[in-house]
Amino acid sequence: MSVLVYAEHDNATLNPVTLSVLAAAKELDGDITVLVAGKGCGAVAEAAAKAEGVSKVLCADNDAYEHQLAENIADLVAEVGADYSHILAAATTTGKNFAPRVAALLDVAQISEISDVVDGDTFRRPIYAGNAIATVKCTDAKKVITVRGTSFDGVAAEGGSASVENLDVVKESGLSTFIGEELAKSDRPELTAADIVISGGRGMGNGDNFEILYKVADKLGAAVGASRAAVDAGFVPNDMQVGQTGKIVAPQLYIAVGISGAIQHLAGMKDSKVIVAINKDEEAPIFQVADYGLVADLFEAVPELDSKL
């Protein structure tokens, strides 16, 4: 088996989720090649070459790949991937955007968000918002797969010594153009990679009240998340949303504050090691999954928690 792993990056640094994808790739027992596509992404290729288990890095450095536009990336991956039995990408918005396009270009099925590798053809993945786990088998000649990062412990970022080969394949479809982006800036750890996450829901009342969560987060070195209700109410930006349609997290500690615990929210956090719920409604479904539950007014409990850490 030969595995092609698509590297996730921002043209400057390798996103740690790629190390988790490499861990999934390792379970396939094949030769692992990493593809880095971007603009000025040499440092990313160097970083990928150092990751454990990588035997080769292909670097496609061109203006056409700068913003990871699906049309160009899919054409590139479909061409480069022709020599591989498995093509893996992270189940991030980037991976989910181009991987199905690659699969269709190759006329094969795509398997989304795998949480387990059974063998080269068989994988496990959550369905129905994580309320069922399906074992699926795909007999297509090639497997195009996205990997749920939180389900695999990443390989070591150092220790490898793969060679870097430059690719001059340029795919410019001319179908789409990048106009601009608005990225949320934060000094706190990235939500999907944080060891501790503290999230607020509709119970927070408004965006200013999230300040009390930020204070606790800064003491704990935690990332701050939110439920869909809090995002839809405009309290916080959408990239903080944890759930079926937001981000999937599995930290050591997840603190849910003023979150009732709808199925869609649980889908994004129920694999956390320890779950704490603070809610004034003792009937809230979140208490059914919480390891430690505290029935209290969050506006009293959270500042008290802050003072006692």
Site residues (CB under 8 A) for another protein, limited to 34-73: 67, 69-71
Residue nearer to another protein on the CB measure, 134 or 169: 134
Segment near another protein (CB under 8 A); pick from 26-34, 39-47, 162-170, 225-233: 225-233
Q: Is 12 in the site for another protein (CB under 8 A)?
A: no
What is the distance between the alpha carbons of residues 99 and 106, in angstroms, rounded to a whole number? 11
Which member of 174, 187, 211, 283 binds another protein (CB under 8 A)? 174
Positions 176 through 205 that interact with another protein (CB under 8 A): 176-184, 192, 196
What is the distance between the alpha carbons of residues 208 and 235, in angstroms, rounded to a whole number? 8
CA distances from 249 to 237, 256, 287 (A): 17, 13, 18
Which member of 57, 223, 253, 269 binds another protein (CB under 8 A)? 253
Residue 200 — φ and ψ, nearest 5°? -115, 150
Q: Is 100 in the site for another protein (CB under 8 A)?
A: yes
Amino acid residing at 167: L
SS3 at position 287 = helix
Could you give the string, one character per residue 68-97, with x where binding to another protein holds by CB under 8 A and - elsewhere? -xxx--x-----------------xxx-xx
CB of 112 to another protein, least distance (A): 5
By the 8 A CB rule, do 171 and 42 touch? no
Residue nearer to another protein on the CB measure, 100 or 120: 100
Cite the DSSP H helix spans in 210-276. 211-220, 228-232, 263-266
Residue 255 — φ and ψ, nearest 5°? -110, 115
Residue nearer to another protein on the CB measure, 67 or 171: 67
Which member of 50, 56, 188, 270 binds another protein (CB under 8 A)? 270
Could you give the string, one character per residue 115-154, with x where binding to another protein holds by CB under 8 A and - elsewhere? -------x---xxxxxxxxxxxxxxx--------------
CB of 117 to another protein, least distance (A): 14
What is the distance between the alpha carbons of residues 272 and 249, in angstroms, rounded to a whole number? 7
CB of 96 to another protein, least distance (A): 5
Which member of 229, 275, 279, 284 binds another protein (CB under 8 A)? 275
Nearest CA to 306 out of 216, 223, 220 is that of 216
CA distances from 141 to 25, 78, 144, 195 (A): 17, 14, 10, 38
Which member of 173, 206, 281, 297 binds another protein (CB under 8 A)? 173
CA angle 117, 119, 124 (to 5 degrees): 40
Residue nearer to another protein on the CB measure, 163 or 252: 252
What pairing do the DSSP bridges indicate for beta strands 143-147 and 110-114?
parallel
